[in-house]
Amino acid sequence: MKFAEMYADIKPSGMLKLFQAAAATPDVVNLGEGEPDFDTEHDIVDVAARAAKEGYTHYGPIQGYPDVRQAVCNYWERRYALSSTPDEVMIMAGGVQSVHLALQALLNPGDEVIVAEPCFSPYFEQIHQHRGVAVHLPTTEAQGFVPSGEDIERLVTPRSRVLMICSPSNPTGRVMKREQMESIARAAEKHDLVVLSDEIYDSMVYTGKHVPFATVPGMKERTLTMGGLSKSHCMTGWRIGYAIGPAPLIKVMSLIGANQTYGVNVPTQRAALYALERHDAKMEERARVFRDRLAYVAKRLNAMKGVTCAEPEGAFYLFPDISGTGVDSERFAWGLLEKGRVATLPGSAFGACGEGYVRIACTRSMEMLEKGMDRMEQFVKSL
């Protein structure tokens, strides 16, 4: 069979290959997967089950139920003082769909998307699928892996249209400071860029509070805030997320979405409403668990020769520098899996500037993390 030219040589990403190898490794300590190890709380599951029994089994509104969109507004207002109205919100089949719809709505073929790296690697393929051009914006650990406005300006061309940022960051676990956001905001305003701000890890910030990029003065009208319940409410499998942004952009995204998923699973939307309104305390309890795990693993990493790891700031990731061990990040991650039976991801999978680092997801119990670190320590000694 002949496939479309743009997909003729599509292959599983390096990340997917490592996940597959990890799944086939007996007794592996899997610190590769970016999803919470906690199941969805049962009261949330019950709400979805009840909704289905009560007749929420039909098509729902394409943009999402108005009361669910209002619950998204309430959550961001209550927690982070980001004010918005339901016409500025769309409910999505996961955060991944927000990026697709936004890029579809915004890009003409050949338009440039500046991507702050290291970043969530599906962005690259998503930009390609919407016929945009990814412009790599590398950052360094000395900058906290956050670009400055000047870094952005150096890459701007007449085709620049969108800037993609993520904080708390996957893969680095770093959190943008307000001054850094302000510097980025100046560049976005000067060059009329739309900012796609991935804030799916909003509930996991360990020093201070999450600051939505859209709350920086002048940014609300050009920012799409992308969030979801996958990480905050342990609902990865439900495929529920949302975007908050200027109403005209949300409207176009909804019209495009009408020809794609035709809205989001309705019992899941009812469960999301309940979770957004009633689960802040649980969410914070889990954030404390992740914070303790990250602190433990960072300490263990810093005791390994050739490895250095910054203080955890957000999300459930650590991004230690392993360059002092003398091997590159691919060889390190594959060697650690094959010889040490610990799965991590090479930093280079998240953009070239991730070389010299590995991503460790602290999404396992303390016992497993201890076992993983003991094995990693032995592996590092063997290099």
Ligand X SMILES: Cc1ncc(COP(=O)(O)O)c(C=O)c1O
Q: Which C-beta is closer to ligand X: that of 236 or that of 308?
A: 236
Instruction: Provide the minimum distance between the beta carbon of 231 and ligand X in the complex, in angstroms, as a whole number.
Output: 7
Q: Which C-beta is closer to ligand X: that of 148 or that of 236?
A: 236
For residues 89 and 250, is the Cβ–Cβ distance under 8 A? yes
Instruction: Provide the minimum distance between the beta carbon of 146 and ligand X in the complex, in angstroms, as a whole number.
Output: 15
Longest dimension (CA), the chain: 60
Instruction: Provide the minimum distance between the beta carbon of 145 and ligand X in the complex, in angstroms, as a whole number.
Output: 13
Instruction: Provide the minimum distance between the beta carbon of 116 and ligand X in the complex, in angstroms, as a whole number.
Output: 12
Of all residues in the chain, what percent are helix, strand and coil, respectively (each to 5)?
Answer: 45, 15, 40
Classify burial at 8, counting beta carbons within 10 Å of its beta carbon; exposed 0-12, middle 13-18, buried 19 or more: exposed
Which residue ranges make up the site for ligand X (CB under 6 A)? Answer: 34, 94-96, 120, 166, 170, 198, 200, 228, 230, 236, 241
Residues forming a β-bridge with 166:
198
Instruction: Provide the minimum distance between the beta carbon of 383 and ligand X in the complex, in angstroms, as a whole number.
Output: 29
Q: Which C-beta is closer to ligand X: that of 120 or that of 274?
A: 120
For residues 146 and 116, is the Cβ–Cβ distance under 8 A? yes
Instruction: Provide the minimum distance between the beta carbon of 60 and ligand X in the complex, in angstroms, as a whole number.
Output: 18
Q: Which C-beta is closer to ligand X: that of 241 or that of 320?
A: 241
Measured distance CA(330)–CA(29) in Å, rounded: 18
10 Å Cβ neighbour count for 52?
Answer: 16
Residue found by looking up tokens 């969410």 in the block? 283
Q: Which C-beta is closer to ligand X: that of 64 or that of 241?
A: 241
Residues forming a β-bridge with 92:
241
Q: By beta-carbon distance, which residue lies closest to ligand X? A: 94
Classify burial at 372, counting beta carbons within 10 Å of its beta carbon; exposed 0-12, middle 13-18, buried 19 or more: buried
Q: Which C-beta is closer to ligand X: that of 272 or that of 336?
A: 272
Per-residue DSSP letters for 120-183?
-THHHHHHHHTT-EEEEE---GGGTT---HHHHHHH--TTEEEEEEESS-TTT-----HHHHHH
Instruction: Provide the minimum distance between the beta carbon of 206 and ligand X in the complex, in angstroms, as a whole number.
Output: 17
Q: Which C-beta is closer to ligand X: that of 160 or that of 170?
A: 170
